[in-house]
Amino acid sequence: MKYKSILITGGAGFIGSHVVRLFVNKYPDIRIINLDKLTYAGNLANLKDIEDCPNYQFVKADICDFETVRDIIRRNEVDAIVHLAAESHVDRSITDPFLFARVNVMGTLTLLEAARQVWEIEGWEGKRYYQISTDEVYGALQFDGTLFTETTRYDPHSPYSAAKASADHFVRAYHDTYGMPTVISNCSNNYGPFQFPEKLIPLFLNNIRFRKPLPVYGKGENVRDWLYVVDHARAIDLILHEGQVAETYNIGGFNEWKNIDLIKVLIQTADRLLGRAEGEDLDLITYVADRKGHDLRYAIDSTKIATELGWKPSVTFEQGIELTIRWYLEHQDWLDNVTSGDYLQYYEKMYGNC
Ligand code: NAD
Ligand code: TYD
């Protein structure tokens, strides 16, 4: 399917910025609109290299603002929406669940309804609404080798995953009720450049650099399935253009890591790149109280997207993690900027506070 005008929400965030960059470069004839509220997690510095491209447009807006969103869709003749904007950090959802319901549930519903009001009149033909979801909606696995498939029952545990699951249900309801051409993908943990340093990998790399303690939740035995963010962006491109309406696609790298083992890789690699004795910083590991309701294990079966759409990761984990660790160590200015909050003041001056 070929689109004229693609609206990407949350394009100033971690994954969204990789999707925007890929689309702007790959589709010079398609208008790419990045709608982002620029919360603490949104940073236009992530998109410096493409901000002047003629097919790219940034709009500072809140997905919960119905009239603004509908106006953007109508005025720009948007025929495809890739919805990434969300509150994304599990720990924050535990302390502020209302915010997660507002943004992740009501924000998604607002976007769906705004699109319906425009597209139902224009006709559904050639339109696509794409929901970017997470493997966390499936709940937690035991250490038994099982994997999440597209038919695994939703069983979310955290306020974050409950809100994402609820949003996915609304997306399916809009397909079943109104006939909206929707598609959903559920991806595992992403890693790579431009991730806000509240998440495990960038937080720990920043702490290693300054020899600060590394807070490992519980015993560090929880397992996550890590995928390089650029490979997620490539999968999103493929699903948007070739995925079937009303289908779900799981995306993951068959790459499970126990947290503590991954943390040791981070320390050893960072030490080597920083010219320190390898493993010198292992004593920074500090076991702290476990996260409430901490899901034990996530692991994705991505056979469907591989066999039906021909997707496979472009880098191995060894390549991706080395690239990522180097990137954070070489972009301390980016980390300093986002951790100091300087960028928020800069954007408020430029775009006001919506
Ligand atoms: P992120 O926190 O880095 O970025 C979220 C972006 O959304 C930010 O730019 C923020 O400014 C914007 N935003 C937040 N609230 C908004 C609002 N009300 N209106 C407009 N914009 C708003 O998140 P991320 O890690 O890039 O995740 C992006 C999406 O991918 C999310 O939907 C998340 O659930 C999903 N996902 C993430 C992962 C992961 O490992 N990070 C894995 C699977 C799925
Ligand atoms: P995170 O990056 O927050 O992603 P998610 O919770 O969405 O999987 O956390 C990845 C894993 O690392 C998760 O099991 C929680 C753990 N973790 C820590 O042990 N310490 C930390 O400081 C953080 C942020 C996460």
- Amino acid (1-letter code) at residue 318: E
Residue 275: left (phi > 0), alpha (psi -120 to 50), or beta?
A: left
Using only C-alpha atoms, the chain has a radius of gyration, in whole angstroms, of 20
136 noted as active-site residue: yes
Does the pLDDT value for residue 352 go beyond 80?
no
Residue 341 confidence (pLDDT): 83
Reported confidence tier of residue 343, pLDDT bands at 50, 70, 90? confident
Q: What is the mean pLDDT of residues 173-187?
A: 98
For β-strands 223-228 and 189-191, DSSP reports them as: parallel
Q: What is the pLDDT of residues 244-256, one digit of tens each?
A: 999 999 999 999 9
C-beta 187 within 6 A of ligand 2 = no
Q: DSSP string of 155-219?
A: ---SHHHHHHHHHHHHHHHHHHHH---EEEEEE-EEESTT--TTSHHHHHHHHHHTT--EEEETT
% of the chain with per-residue pLDDT over 90: 95
Annotated catalytic residue: which of 135, 256, 295, 301? 135
Tell me the per-residue pLDDT of 105-154, one tens digit each, with 9 for 90 and over. Answer: 999 999 999 999 999 999 999 999 999 999 999 999 999 999 999 999 99
Q: Identify any residues that bridge with 69 across adjacent strands, giving them in sequence order.
A: none
Question: 214-234 pLDDT, tens per residue?
Answer: 999 999 999 999 999 999 999
Asked whether the predicted pLDDT for residue 344 surpasses 90, the reply is: no
Identify the nearest ligand to the CA of 200 by its number: 2
Question: What confidence score (pLDDT) does residue 353 get?
Answer: 54
pLDDT band at 354 (very low <50, low <70, confident <90, very high): very low
Pocket, ligand 1, Cβ cutoff 6 A: 9-10, 12-16, 36-39, 41-42, 62-64, 84-86, 88, 103, 107, 132, 134, 164, 187, 189-190, 196
What tokens appear for 235 in the block?
């999968």
Could you report the per-residue pLDDT of 277-291, keeping only the tens digit for each? 988 999 999 999 999
- Per-residue pLDDT for 342 more than 70? yes
Q: Which long-range contacts (CB under 8 A, 24 or more apart) does 285-289 make?
A: 285/214, 285/216, 285/220, 285/260, 286/213, 286/214, 286/215, 286/216, 287/216, 287/218, 287/219, 287/220, 288/215, 288/216, 288/217, 289/217, 289/218
CA-based torsion, 47, 53, 55, 61: positive or negative: positive
Rounded distance from Cα 200 to ligand 2 centre (Å): 5
pLDDT digits (tens, 9 = 90+) for 26-53: 999 999 999 999 999 999 999 999 999 9
Catalytic residue among 160, 249, 343, 347: 160
Look at residue 328 and tell me whether its pLDDT is greater than 90. Answer: yes
- Nearest residue (by CA) to ligand 1, atom 32, is 84
